[in-house]
Chain A
């Protein structure tokens, strides 16, 4: 009996240690991952905001029929890239008001990855959904795609390295969540507890409230995040069955994956209109995406894809046609149970199924995740600082670890919002025709973040907290104003325009709200330090008075 109690205490204490270190070592990277991932729930909307040249065209009162839109896109592609290795056409739907077309060329020898990427960025055009005519070329920006990739690939390194680093961080996160639940002694008694203005206790309450009350989301998002890259993190099963030939496995397991080879015999692509009509009849809904592989080749294939609808899975139903004859080759049926399970797990992470309400809930839970990581990181500093209370009172300094963590906290928690805001500002302020413009925007993001992090290392003080929070508040909250000065689609227009411009209005309003939140944090911090200063002065006066009375008495 007694021994059981000892073991129980031991478990909780050891889990507390695991929770602290699994969390602390990766928390700043996790904050970046959480913030970028949360933003990526609205990546199409962010991309749209960052290409203001398209706003007018998207705000069309009527749209041409889907079939005609597809035919026009194919005509444009035939003119520009008849020999491409693949075409991709996105048709207008709820989250995409425009018709976009892009193509990929067969890789040339001796092309670096960077060159290929840059070439790919040029190979697309956008059609006006009302007239079917080509729109003005939008500025070169990766928009929300940058944040989406940043979420799991990082930047300035190969995606492979980025994914391994992210995977280690995500695994630590999973360990931190589970050990956190075990170590939380009063998880049910403190369920709804938040006690403000109580120092360390308040931070702990805030950490618990943001973590426990959204625990299903946090557990789900961490676990499913690992599953999205499972073939990379756990390669052994594939290796055992397929050896080094992973592509064969992908081809056999994921039927949607296109592994077709060109026949290298010229054959013109047939009219795709009948295919779209056939798909629409079968589904009762128009396809939203068309993937053509090896156009104008005898081995050409046309794949029509539609959203999966009221299902979690990210596997989208599709129909594949022979591009040379127009005959239906295959249509994806219900996937196997295993594949459906993976699809649902993957789908939960990327939330393609989410309607506006559910998407907003995912976004809010993502923000709660940011708050959980941030409060956890702050909590370590608050706890550790107490060990130095007496030394600091005597005019001494806190230890190196506390100073380092404080500085990293400022650079991440207050600095990252600044970096995000600067990314959006750079989108509007950089000249529209600058060379490699989208890379410049990304550089602005990291330059701003680096500046914040370095400033924080030089002076990790409350003043620095307030400065960076205020800066973030002004930059984020100022985005609607910037948008008003640099485009014609400001809040005064977008709030009263059609549904296509709701994304722009939503972006402006959400950044304004986040800016106000940061501003409130800066104000609150200022008030607290003023109060503490006043209290300190009072107690100093009190001590002086006491000592003088003591002297008089003597």
Chain B
């Protein structure tokens, strides 16, 4: 189960990161002052970000069931959000790279959830 939980954490981080890189402040931090994300990009990234968070929830439920899973999810969300906050401050470009971790994590989580 620990791999499922780990992918849940990665998905939470990736989901937040994907959401954050099209937020005005962080977009400007990454791409230079004054840069603004286009509306289409914004919509797509937000959709992907929320998808990541939803999958992270599914992974937690899969790992710990409906009783404990939501509690675990809240904890993982906090950890992921703190890590991302620090990353966006000290190495904002890394947030884009970090967001990619969601792809392998999503594949792992889906494989583990279906394979059960």
- List chain A positions with a Cβ less than 8 A from chain B: 189, 191-196, 209, 213-214, 216-217, 220, 310-312, 344, 348, 353, 357-358, 361-362, 364-365, 368
Q: A194-B86, A213-B85 are in contact. Are A189 and B72 (CB under 8 A)?
A: no
Indicate whether A312 sits within 8 Å of B67 (C-beta atoms), given known contacts A192-B81, A194-B89: yes
- Check A365 against B75 for contact (C-beta < 8 Å): yes
Check if B86 sits within 8 Å of A216, measured CB to CB.
Answer: no
A310-B68 in contact (CB<8A): yes
Q: Which 9 A-B pairs have the closest CB atoms?
A: A361-B75, A213-B81, A216-B74, A214-B78, A192-B85, A192-B20, A194-B89, A311-B67, A194-B85
Known interface pairs A193-B85, A196-B89; A217-B16 also in contact (CB < 8 Å): no
Contact of A192 among B65, B77, B78, B88 (CB under 8 A): B88
Main secondary structure of the interface of B (DSSP, over half): helix
A interface footprint on B62-96 (CB within 8 Å = 1, 0 otherwise): 00110110011011111101101110110000000
Q: A193 — which chain B residues lie within 8 A by C-beta?
A: 25, 85, 88
A353→B72 CA distance, assembly (Å): 11
The tally of residues in B whose CB lies under 8 Å from a CB in A reads 27
Residue among B2, B72, B76, B82 with the most chain A CB within 10 A? Answer: B82
CB<8 Å pairs between A and B, sample of 5: A193-B88, A310-B67, A348-B71, A358-B72, A361-B76
B30 within 8 A of A: no
Nearest CB on A from B5, distance (A): 7
Q: How far is the CA of A311 from the CA of B64 in the complex (A)?
A: 10
* Chain A residues near B72 (CB-CB < 8 A): 357-358, 361
Measured between alpha carbons, how far is A217 from B74 in the docked complex, in Å? Answer: 7
- Scan residues 23-67 of chain B and give those whose CB is less than 8 A from a CB of chain A: 23-26, 64-65, 67
Residues of A within 8 A of B64 (CB): 310
B17's nearest neighbour on chain A, judged by CB, is: A192
Residues of chain A with a CB closer than 8 A to B75's CB? 217, 358, 361-362, 364-365
A310 CA to B66 CA, complexed, in Å? 9
Instruction: Report the bound CA distance from A312 to B67 in whole Å.
Output: 6
Contacts of B89 in A (CB 8 A): 194-196
Q: Which chain A positions have C-beta within 8 A of B5?
A: 357
Counting chain B CB atoms within 10 Å of each CB, which of A192, A310, A353 scores highest? Answer: A192
CB-based contact A358/B68 at 8 Å: yes
B82 with A358: CB separation less than 8 A: no
